[in-house]
Structure 1
Amino acid sequence: MTCAGKIPALVPTSELTVEFHRRAEDLYFNTPVAIAHAVVPPMLDRGDGSLLDAFGASTINPGVAPGISGFNSVGAGTRHWLRGMHSEFGPNGVFVGMLGIGAMIEGSTAYESTKAAPSSFGEVPVGHPSVLAETYRDMYTARDRAESVYPARAADVEDG
């Protein structure tokens, strides 16, 4: 599952506004809900199907990316909703999986712009799209976990 559209700029928590949250919610929560309502009923009727979504690893743990964590409240809500669907629909043959990405995706617009102007929040790992695709394929095939994170420790942060 992907959400096409203009991505709101990432903001620090201290700069989160209601307007920003509403725009982000429309794109990152309401759009997946609308897509799911369109595609899940036939999957449930068949007893088979999959929904896969992705988000930044900072949605799992906002401490991994200080300075851009204002968005995470929307991502966390979407993640919670997807996990609920995973639990509810799994016994009926419909797999819902999520991939938290804690890396720049090589060749992406964000990757290219970061090469031109290095990130203000430090060194960010780089992931190749084929590795992410393999992770999705493995999740789809195994259907043994609701969530994976790439790279594996990207959502880890020590409390301080």
Structure 2
Amino acid sequence: MIIVFCDDDQTLVDLAFKEIEEYEEVFSRCILYNDPKLNRLKLGKNENLFISAHGSDTSAIIGGHGAKSLSLTPSQLWNRIRHLFPVNYEGAIYLASCYAADELPSQTGNSTNEKSFITQLSEISGQTVYGQSGGQPLEFIPQPDEEDPEYQWTKG
């Protein structure tokens, strides 16, 4: 399943639906974060969850582009998706978002970097979480076994 957590960029929505058309066996379905049907959905025991959103290189948030767009911390994201996970879930969460796997600059002024979005989400949720490094916009959502080093997933 792909969930698009963005309220101001149709490109991410179009990309997600294109991936469903081309790789239905991998992604199975796509839904927007604000679709009322999301609250009734459940993941299969081994079904991976893909999240598409914009990221930030300065703080652990995902969402949209603009100052007034959707903006979620790892805790807020987990609170929105936790109902999807069955007991004994064995899949993984894949976050297709710029900087999701990158450590962030310290928010407190000390020299220690903040943990990446995916590391924080993994700690909060207890799930296996993968993400993308760097700020290069994706032309597609990589599959879990992606071999191209430019698009490989990093584990949180």
The answer to whether the superposition gives a TM-score over 0.5 is no
Whichever of the two has the greater Rg, that structure is 1
Larger RCO (CA under 8 A, 6+ residues apart): 1
The structure that is helix-richer by fraction is 1
Q: TM-score range by the shorter chain?
A: 0.3 to 0.5
Q: Give TM-score, length-normalised by structure 2.
A: 0.35
Q: Give TM-score, length-normalised by structure 1.
A: 0.35
